[in-house]
Structure 1
Amino acid sequence: MPRIIVAEIDSTEQRAVAVDIWRAANAARRRNATAGRIRRVEGKLAAAELALLAHYGPRPAGMLVAETYLVDGVPLPGYGHLSMVFVDPAVWGSHVGTEMIRDLQSRDWEGLSVWTRTDNRRAQRLYERTGFTDTGNRSTLRDGEEIMQLAWARD
């Protein structure tokens, strides 16, 4: 099994690779990567407080973006929010997502939150495996899909 290496994204080239991973994961889930969505992801990566890129052996395989958690627009010190977590479908099941989240959990965050679609069981299993629990909070996206919030707290 190849080694998984997780490191902070620190170059334009790495951000472009992260966008490619995002596109591949969305294509596998039959989600449309419109020009507007691509620009938003590129902008989010360029402005990210923390962006990680994972390699599975030599292959770029996953990307994660995290930021300070906001409560009514006010930063909550010590708490983070995962705004994007994507793994290349070619390596789904290889624990790339787990390693990226474990890397994030090893940092200074006391707690983390994430939202995911209620029908995305793959993501829910990843978050549950890394200690996240369902908060019971639900919301509906503009496209009508329901999303759920999960949270993790340091013991």
Structure 2
Amino acid sequence: MPRIIVAEIDSDEQRALAVDIWRAANAARRKTATEARVRRVREKLDAAELALLAHYGSRPAGMLLAETYLVDGVPLPGYGHISMVFVDPAVWGSHVGTEMIRDLQSRDWAGLSVWTRTDNRRAQRLYETTGFTDTGNRSTLHDGEEIMQLAWARDENVGD
């Protein structure tokens, strides 16, 4: 099994690879990548507080964006929010997503949140595997799809 390497995105070349991964994941979900949406993903990558790129061996395989968690528009220090996670479908099931989440959890965040579609079982398994739990919060997207919030909190008592 190839080694998974996760590192912060710090170049235009890496941002372009992240967009390619996003496109591949959307194509696998039969979602059309409109030019407006591609532009928005590029803008989010350019402005990202934290952007990670994962390689599966030498193959670019996953991207993740995270930012400070906001409560009613006010930053909650020490807490993060995952705004995007995409894995190249060619390596689904190889733990690339898990390694990106674990990298994020190894940073200074006391807790993390994420929203995902209620019908996205693959994403839900990823988050459950990495210690996230369903908060019970639900919302509806502009396209009518229901989304759910999951959260993870660092266990400060581990090793005490």
User: What TM-score range do you get, normalising by the shorter chain?
Assistant: over 0.9
Opposite residue 6 of structure 1, the aligned amino acid is V
- With the length of structure 1 as denominator, give the TM-score of the two structures: 1.00
Question: Which stretches in structure 2 are left out of the alignment for 5+ residues?
Answer: 156-160
Alignment of 1:136-151 (within 5 A): 136-151=136-151
Number of the residue aligned with 2:124: 124
Number of the residue aligned with 2:79: 79
Q: What is the CA-CA distance between 1:32 and the residue it aligns to?
A: 1.3
1:38-64: CA deviation from partner (whole Å, max 9, x where unpaired): 010000000000000000000000000
Hey, what's the Cα distance between the residues in 1 that align with 2:153 and 2:37?
Answer: 31
- Alpha-carbon RMSD across the aligned residues, in angstroms, is 0.3
Hey, what's the Cα distance between the residues in 1 that align with 2:32 and 2:138?
Answer: 23
Task: Verify: 1:41 aligned to 2:14, yes or no.
Answer: no
Hey, what's the Cα distance between the residues in 2 that align with 1:51 and 1:113?
Answer: 16
Matched residue count: 155
Q: What is the CA-CA distance between 1:154 and the residue it aligns to?
A: 0.1
1:82-121: CA deviation from partner (whole Å, max 9, x where unpaired): 0000000000000000000000000000000000000000
Question: Which stretches in structure 1 are left out of the alignment for 5+ residues?
Answer: none
Hey, what's the Cα distance between the residues in 2 that align with 1:27 and 1:61?
Answer: 15
3-state SS in 2 of match to 1:51: strand
Identity of aligned residues (%): 90
Q: What is the CA-CA distance between 1:4 and the residue it aligns to?
A: 0.1
Displacement over 4 Å in runs of 4+: none
Alignment of 1:58-77 (within 5 A): 58-77=58-77
